[in-house]
Structure 1
Amino acid sequence: MSTTPEIGAILENSKELDRLRKDQEDILSEINKLHKKLQATPEVVEKPGDTSLSRLKMLYTQAKDLSDNEANISNKLISQLDALHPPGAQGQQRRRLEGSEQKRKRVKADSDITRLNPSMRNQLEACASLKGEQVAARVTPRNADKDEWFVVKVIHFDKESKEFEVLDEEPGDDEESSGQRQYKLPMANIIPFPKSNDPSSAPDFLPGKHVLAVYPGTTALYKATVVHCPRRRKTDDYVLEFDDDEEDGSLPQRTVPFHKVVPLPEGHRQ
């Protein structure tokens, strides 16, 4: 029996596999763009008529369908190649099939990470890109009974352990040593600041919104309440009232640069 029709079918399935992968890359690109938009302006989802979340759901659904189709075509190709492969010794055949099964499992695992969960992949890449940047970090200093938030510099991000290595360049006077200190922190303990050279990356918090901000003249972050919004220009400072900052029976209004203010984490206690 001629193998030409079988080879033709293999080539057709290979072309279809290439097409599916290209479509997946296009969908992933659209998801990435939408992620960046939502990260830069999360308040957009609260506007009447905004369809960002429904579009994101649709893109994820399309990504899953394309991945399922890719798996089906891959299985067909494996079956076609198995049919053309010359039979060997039973032991060799068994090892070959076991190897193929392991390979398929690895391919599926890779697919789960890079295609069906683009958000996590993007998050890891974003964390790695923070090397050398200053970020807000939640740390429990020595001899402290509660967490504190302060400005640190990212030294390294380990994608395997999902941990940051950070440097506290200006430890407080109450630290045992006056030298700089390093910490290893999980992703949940880190919040990137808006880019100082990209004012559009800073959200416009509504008046009364609680935020976490660097207290003027320090490297520590504290809970504060937004007083004025919207800012007239993206480069304007925020006007805030910090908790426990009472003077003469009232809270003074303090200005803080837009790139030193971040959303208040859920469950924040300080």
Structure 2
Amino acid sequence: MLYIQAKELSESEVNISTQLLGQLDALLPSGTPGQHRRRIESNEQKKKRMKPDSDVTRLSPSVRNQLDSLANMKGEQVSARVTPEDAEKDEWFVVKVIHVDKETREFEVLDEEPGDEEESGGQRKYKLPPSRIIPFPKRTDPSSILDFPPGRHVLAVYPGTTALYKATVVQPRKRKTDDYVLEFDDDHEEDGSLPQRLVPFHRVVALPEGHRQ
């Protein structure tokens, strides 16, 4: 008798559960709730990543001003990395800007004093992106002059050459227009010491991040 009652109660619970599941299926949209939610989120993420055409084609005033300032560098001497990205070492030289393409933002520069290793033996031209160009401080514009403290690593023109090398500032300066006293890396004397060399302020720039020498 008890077995029969228990069996009837069990069958009744199954029927009630089946009815409840049917009602839930009627209320919920097709597909599992989790899948529907993920699909909405992915669409929203795509919308966030997409930019209106106007944002891509329209240049902001700050970008225009930057391009104008680059174009104004024509005829000036700048420091330029002439070696490719996959080179073992970065080679920086003093070059002259002869043209700036506003559309491609490329600098066409001229190495006016190529080294003895140049096969052509003459002046050499390069087309470089802005990331491989560092303007020198201007003698007539104090706002462009940077003040590097002692101990700071910089990139500077080695005296008597047009090549730039990593160096360390070793003495403080009283004025921004004073020469820097630098110790160049790998510039060892026979006794292993590093000589201190004077370099004009307008031939010293910040050391690029990730510089290889």
Please confirm whether the aligned pair reaches a TM-score higher than 0.5, indicating the same fold: yes
Residue 202 of structure 2 corresponds to residue 234 of structure 1: no
Which structure shows the bigger proportion of residues in strand conformation? 2
Aligned position for 1:60? none
Instruction: Determine helix, strand or coil for the equivalent of 2:108.
Output: strand
> Is the counterpart of residue 220 in structure 1 residue 155 in structure 2?
no
| 1:198 CA drift (Å) | 2.7
- Provide the rounded CA distance (Å) in 1 between the counterparts of 2:198 and 2:130: 29
- 1:237 maps to a residue whose letter is D
Structure 2 match to 1:208: 151
Q: After TM superposition, give the deviation of residue 249 of structure 1 in Å.
A: 1.4
What is the identity percentage for the equivalent residue pairs of Structure 1 and Structure 2? Answer: 74
Q: Deviations over 1:42-101 (max 9, x none)?
A: xxxxxxxxxxxxxxxxxxxxxxxxxxxxxxxxxxxxxxxxxxxxxxxxxxxxxxxxxxxx
Structure 2 unmatched runs, 5+: 1-51
Contact 2:111 2:123 in 1 (8 A): yes
CA deviation after TM superposition for structure 1 residue 173, in Å: 0.7
**Larger Rg over CA atoms:** 2
Number of aligned positions between the proteins: 159
CA RMSD of aligned residues (A): 2.0
Instruction: Output one character per residue of 1:153-212: Cα deviation in whole Å (capped at 9) or x when no partner.
Output: 000111111110000000001111221010000110000000022344211111110000
Amino acid aligned to 1:244: D
CA distance in 2 between partners of 1:235 and 1:146 (Å)? 31
**TM-score normalized by the length of structure 2:** 0.69
Query: Match of 1:245, SS?
Result: coil
TM-score (norm 1): 0.55
Give SS of 1:140's match: coil
User: 1:134 is matched with which residue: 77, 102, 106?
Assistant: 77
2:192 is equivalent to residue 246 of structure 1: no
The whole-number CA distance in structure 1 between the counterparts of 2:99 and 2:204 is 23
Q: Is the 8 A contact 1:200 1:234 kept in 2?
A: no
- For 1:1-270, what aligned pairs fall within 5 Å after superposition? 111=58, 113-115=59-61, 118=62, 120-140=63-83, 146-229=89-172, 231-247=173-189, 248-270=191-213
Paired residue for 2:45?
none
Moved over 6 A (4+): none
* Counterpart in the other structure of 1:32: none
CA contact 1:140–1:148 (8 Å) conserved in 2: yes
Query: Which structure features the higher share of helix residues?
Result: 1
C-alpha displacement of 1:236: 0.7
User: Structure 1: any 5+ residue segments left out of the alignment?
Assistant: 1-103
CA–CA distance in 2 between the matches of 1:161 and 1:105? 19
Alignment-mate amino acid for residue 195 of structure 2:
P
Query: Contact 1:199 / 1:258 at 8 angstroms: preserved in 2?
Result: no
